[in-house]
Amino acid sequence: MKPQYQHKVITSFLLWFDNHLLKKGEAYSNKTGTLHYFDDSRLPDSYKTYSSPYKQWVTDSSIVGSENPIIPTQFMGSGRNDGIIFDFENGRIIETGGSFDTQETITGTFAVKDFNIYLTNETEEDLILENKFVQNSRYNDSENGIKPYDQVVPAIFINSETIQNVPFAFGGEDETRMSIKAVVLAEDSYSLDGVLSIFADSRHENVNIIPFSGHPATEYGDIKNGSYNYTDLINTHKGSEVPLYIEDVVVSKLSDKAQKQSIGDLKVGFIDFDVYQHRFPRL
Amino acid sequence: MSNYEYYTEIQTTLENQIPNIAKEQVRKIFRAAFQKKKNQMISEFLNHPVTKEIEMGINAKNISGTLGGGSGNLFSFIGFEEGYDPIGPIEEVLLRTDFKLIKVTKREIEFSVILPEPRDVFAVTPMPWASGRSWAKGIETGISGLGYYLLKSTKNSRSGLGIQSTRKVRKKSRFKNTQYITAFIRKYEKEFSNLEL
């Protein structure tokens, strides 16, 4: 099936969400550390992976702050031209050439997001009660690499729950109303409050539509063409489609009483977005 | 002063008095029609299947069909404490519906009906486990089963109902969105604007 409206919306929303959190909250930290060899059976045998203790690394070069995020382009002198793939999603590099051997200690610097961001179809009770996440603390410096593919916390899980077209104007124009919900699993109340505060203030923001083909990531979690800048990306696609509009946003925290019955010491919050777009769905 | 001028002066004086005389009469008539419609609105709200099911508390059946009509009910699913009245605050908001006189001219008297907005209702209907969220809005847009499981995992269940479900029951209890407050208020916006005296 070719990508549909829903795919385009959720992709655009995710890119906006990531940029908004990093930009408004400077929700990242630069880390210097060792990457450890990790055998990944999902990849071709000739590929060697070296994992950092953190996922997800920052990719967006439009983010500036008191300390700009360091987006790696090479480790120990080896970069993309030497067959290195940067898997930002899993916080690791994939070596496809002959730059390193598996015994080698690779060190480097990279910016780690304070919150991993995931798309999910899981229910809130599954996310919050099943205690299935590995905690990947941003504060405790770990010496070990982290396994790829697993979802780890602190994280924000985004789910597009409902979509409804309501007649808006003559000529077949509808108001498409979407309910997008985010569950925030934070390490402490400070960072939870920070995230909730940032998104509570996002009411009436526009979210630019990025076509599915415009998504900056490759299948290996690297960025296409070696760099990604959200501001440039939206400027490239500006005007091609009416942007999404955040009609309303409500943030809330799991009550203290309920908190004690949920997953460990993690702090839980919710962000409920009502997102609208005016469009012609039948054309 | 000519007779014509005298006649015109009386006519103008009478015409100027008509709105004031009529105002109270019309206000009385309007109030009766308004009150009738308001009573109808409250009654319809209290008889809505969602309202009735929640009012029946922990022993209710799922008459709203929001949980597939099977086991469980909205009161327990949302996770309300036993004895809590979730409907009372909504009824209070609806009871605040009122009218005021806007304009009186020789030809018309205009009233304005002040009806609550859905957001006024959402503001008084907090989820028991996340007070920023509204359960009334959740009826329209979806409620996770989180409250149900938090309730279940509490030894002294806040609703007083020992929820004995397993994951299998939860699968049956997937929430089905239903029109509730927003559609209800929009309906009565139209009804009040077409109020017949």
Residue B3: what pLDDT?
A: 59
More confident residue, A76 or A208: A208
Residue B72: what pLDDT?
A: 82
Residue B161: what pLDDT?
A: 45
Q: How far is A55 from chain B (nearest CA, A)?
A: 28
Residue B197: what pLDDT?
A: 72
A107-163: pLDDT as tens digits? 999 999 999 999 998 888 888 877 677 777 666 656 677 778 888 889 999 998 888
Q: Sort out which chain A residues have CB atoms less than 8 A from B120's CB and list them.
A: none
Residue B18: what pLDDT?
A: 60
Q: Sort out which chain A residues have CB atoms less than 8 A from B128's CB and list them.
A: 255
Residue B160: what pLDDT?
A: 47
Residue A20: what pLDDT?
A: 97
CA distances from A192 to A12, A21, A253 (A): 23, 12, 9
A124 interfaces chain B, CB cutoff of 8 Å = yes
Residue B9: what pLDDT?
A: 65
Inter-chain contact B132–A253, Cβ cutoff 8 Å?
yes
CB A49 within 8 Å of CB A37? yes
Using the 8-state DSSP alphabet, how is residue A170 labeled? T
Inter-chain contact B144–A129, Cβ cutoff 8 Å?
no
Q: Look over chain A and give the mean of its residue pLDDT values, rounded to a whole number.
A: 89
Token look-up 């929009």 returns B186
Residue B163: what pLDDT?
A: 39
Name A164's bridge partners.
A177
Residue A222: what pLDDT?
A: 94
Residue B169: what pLDDT?
A: 39
Size of interface A-B (CB pairs under 8 A): 54
Structural domain of A56: 5-279
ipTM: 0.77
CB B42 within 8 Å of CB B36? no
A254 interfaces chain B, CB cutoff of 8 Å = yes
The pTM score is: 0.84
Rounded CA-CA distance A25/A27 in Å is 5
Rounded CA-CA distance B146/A269 in Å is 13
Q: Is A186 helix (H, G, I), strand (E, B) or coil?
A: strand
Q: Sort out which chain A residues have CB atoms less than 8 A from B173's CB and list them.
A: none
Inter-chain contact A250–B133, Cβ cutoff 8 Å?
yes
Inter-chain contact B130–A258, Cβ cutoff 8 Å?
yes
Q: How many CB atoms lie within 10 A of CB B166?
A: 8
B55-75: pLDDT as tens digits? 999 888 889 988 876 678 899
Token look-up 């729950």 returns A161
Radius of gyration of chain B (CA): 25
B179 interfaces chain A, CB cutoff of 8 Å = no
Residue B108: what pLDDT?
A: 77
Q: Sort out which chain B residues have CB atoms less than 8 A from A167's CB and list them.
A: none
Q: How far is B51 from chain A (nearest CA, A)?
A: 23
B131 interfaces chain A, CB cutoff of 8 Å = yes
Cα–Cα–Cα angle for A104, A105, A108, rounded to 5 degrees:
130
Instruction: Give B70's contacts (C-beta < 8 A, 6+ positions apart).
Output: B62, B172, B173
pLDDT interval class at A99 (50, 70, 90) = confident
A189-222: pLDDT as tens digits? 999 999 999 999 999 999 999 988 889 999 999 9
pLDDT interval class at A4 (50, 70, 90) = confident
Of A128, A252, A261, the CB nearest to B133: A252
Q: Sort out which chain A residues have CB atoms less than 8 A from B154's CB and list them.
A: 261
Q: For the residues B143-153, what does the mean pLDDT come to?
A: 76
Inter-chain contact A125–B131, Cβ cutoff 8 Å?
no
B110-116 LR contacts (CB < 8 Å, sep 24+):
B111/B30, B111/B34, B113/B34, B113/B192, B113/B193, B113/B195, B115/B185, B115/B188, B115/B189, B115/B192, B116/B185
How many structural domains comprise chain A? 1
Q: For the residues B129-152, what does the mean pLDDT come to?
A: 85
Residue B146: what pLDDT?
A: 81
Q: Look over chain B and give the mean of its residue pLDDT values, rounded to a whole number.
A: 81
Residue A113: what pLDDT?
A: 95
Inter-chain contact B141–A162, Cβ cutoff 8 Å?
yes
Flag whether pLDDT at B165 surpasses 90. Answer: no
Rounded CA-CA distance B152/A64 in Å is 46
Using the 8-state DSSP alphabet, how is residue A223 labeled? B
CA distances from B38 to B42, B115, B153, B159, B186 (A): 6, 10, 42, 32, 14
More confident residue, A178 or A102: A178
B5-60: pLDDT as tens digits? 665 565 566 566 666 667 788 888 889 999 999 999 999 999 999 999 999 998 88
Of A129, A179, A257, the CB nearest to B142: A179
B177 interfaces chain A, CB cutoff of 8 Å = yes
pLDDT interval class at B107 (50, 70, 90) = confident
Name A112's bridge partners.
A29, A57
Best B149, B165, B174 member to test A by mutation, with max A CBs in 10 Å, is B149
Best A272, A274, A276 member to test B by mutation, with max B CBs in 10 Å, is A272
B141 interfaces chain A, CB cutoff of 8 Å = yes
DSSP states of A52-105: -S--PBP-BTT---SS-----SEETTEEGGGTEEEETTTTEEEE-SSS--TT--
Residue A149: what pLDDT?
A: 82
Q: With helix as H, strand as E and coil as C, how does chain B read?
A: CCHHHHHHHHHHHHHHHHHHHHHHHHHHHHHHHHHHHHHHHHHHHHCCHHHHHHHCHHHCCCCCCCCCCCCCCHHHHHCCCCCCCCCHHHHHHHHCCEEEEEEECCCCEEEEEECCCHHHHHCCCEECCEEEEEHHHHHHHCCCCHHHHHHHHCCCCCCCCCCCCCHHHHHHCCCCCCCCHHHHHHHHHHHHHCCCC
pLDDT interval class at B167 (50, 70, 90) = very low
Best A121, A122, A123, A160 member to test B by mutation, with max B CBs in 10 Å, is A123
Residue A104: what pLDDT?
A: 80
B149 interfaces chain A, CB cutoff of 8 Å = yes
Inter-chain contact B134–A250, Cβ cutoff 8 Å?
yes
Q: Helix B88-95 crosses helix B3-46 at what angle (to 10 degrees)? A: 170
Best A122, A270, A271, A273 member to test B by mutation, with max B CBs in 10 Å, is A270
Flag whether pLDDT at B162 surpasses 50. Answer: no
Q: How far is B145 from chain A (nearest CA, A)?
A: 6
CA distances from A228 to A163, A218, A236 (A): 30, 11, 12
Inter-chain contact A125–B130, Cβ cutoff 8 Å?
no
B154 interfaces chain A, CB cutoff of 8 Å = yes
Residue A40: what pLDDT?
A: 87
Distance between the two ends of chain A, CA-based, in angstroms? 19
